[in-house]
Amino acid sequence: MFANKLRAELSSNSLLEHRFYQLWEEGKLSKAALADYTKQYHCFISTLPRFISLVYSKCDNPISRRILLENLIIEGRGRDNKAKFWCNFANKLDVIEYDVEYAVPNKTTEFILNKYWNLCNTSYASGLGALYAYDYYAPIVTSMQMKSLKENYNIKDKISLEFFKSYQNTNVWDSDKIIALIVKLINEDQVTVFNSAISAHKAMWTFLDGILIVNNLDNY
């Protein structure tokens, strides 16, 4: 089955095995490293609605468009959106909202932004693959992050953890909804989805490599 093959490929190079996330899970990241991550990651999640919008604009099927619109609304609606939740977490690390929202992306952050933009702008199938790569891992990674923040960093208040909790609510958006869109595609387009998802997944690894390097953690 296509979905199982794609999940298996993504899982074979799990983001949780990246050294930066291993250090997070072990509680070995400094406050400065976490603060830098909040600024760089915000560059990505604040742009995510634009990526979804690109895919939405290339979708011919009205039912599929409604599903994508649901995701777009969840990511970008009003002040209670995930980018705002992320700023609340950054504030807990003494990073003010202005510094998060106007952070200058480093080279590897620019790389992942450009990669997602190109993938989502190339075709509907390519965009679905990129979105799937993110949505597949978001609940897995945020679950680890939240657990470690509570146990190792003593961050337990609701406001600071709202971003992470938002990905644990399976009643909202999950990767299965994207799979439901993907299985409607012809085989050739499913190949495009597969290749795009792997490309987006590798870009996230590159992004995390950049966080390690900038914070002198690449040999940790």
pLDDT of residue 74: 77
Q: What is the Cα–Cα distance from 186 to 209, expressed in whole angstroms? A: 35
In a domain, residue 71? The reply is yes
Confidence tier at 174 by pLDDT (50, 70, 90): low
pTM of the entire predicted model: 0.93
How does pLDDT run across 180-211, given as a tens digit for each residue? 888 888 899 999 999 999 999 999 999 999 99
pLDDT of residue 125: 96
Q: What is the Cα–Cα distance from 28 to 73, expressed in whole angstroms? A: 35
pLDDT(27) > 70: yes
Q: What CATH number has the domain bearing residue 109?
A: 1.20.910.10
How does pLDDT run across 154-171, given as a tens digit for each residue? 999 999 999 999 888 644
Helices (H), the chain: 2-11, 19-26, 31-45, 48-57, 62-76, 82-92, 97-101, 107-122, 124-152, 158-166, 175-182, 187-214
In a domain, residue 115? The reply is yes
Q: What is the Cα–Cα distance from 198 to 5, expressed in whole angstroms? A: 12
Minimal CA–CA distance to 190: which of 128, 100, 110? 128
Higher pLDDT pick, 16 / 78: 16
In a domain, residue 20? The reply is yes
* Mean pLDDT to the nearest integer, 92-100: 96
Confidence tier at 172 by pLDDT (50, 70, 90): very low
Domain count, the chain: 1
How does pLDDT run across 52-79, given as a tens digit for each residue? 999 999 999 998 898 898 888 877 776 6
In a domain, residue 220? The reply is no
In a domain, residue 219? The reply is no
pLDDT of residue 105: 97
In a domain, residue 205? The reply is yes
In a domain, residue 138? The reply is yes
pLDDT(104) > 90: yes
pLDDT of residue 70: 83
pLDDT(173) > 60: no
- The range of the structural domain enclosing residue 194 comes to 2-214
In a domain, residue 15? The reply is yes
The tokens of 146 are what?
A: 């939240």
The tokens of 50 are what?
A: 């634009």
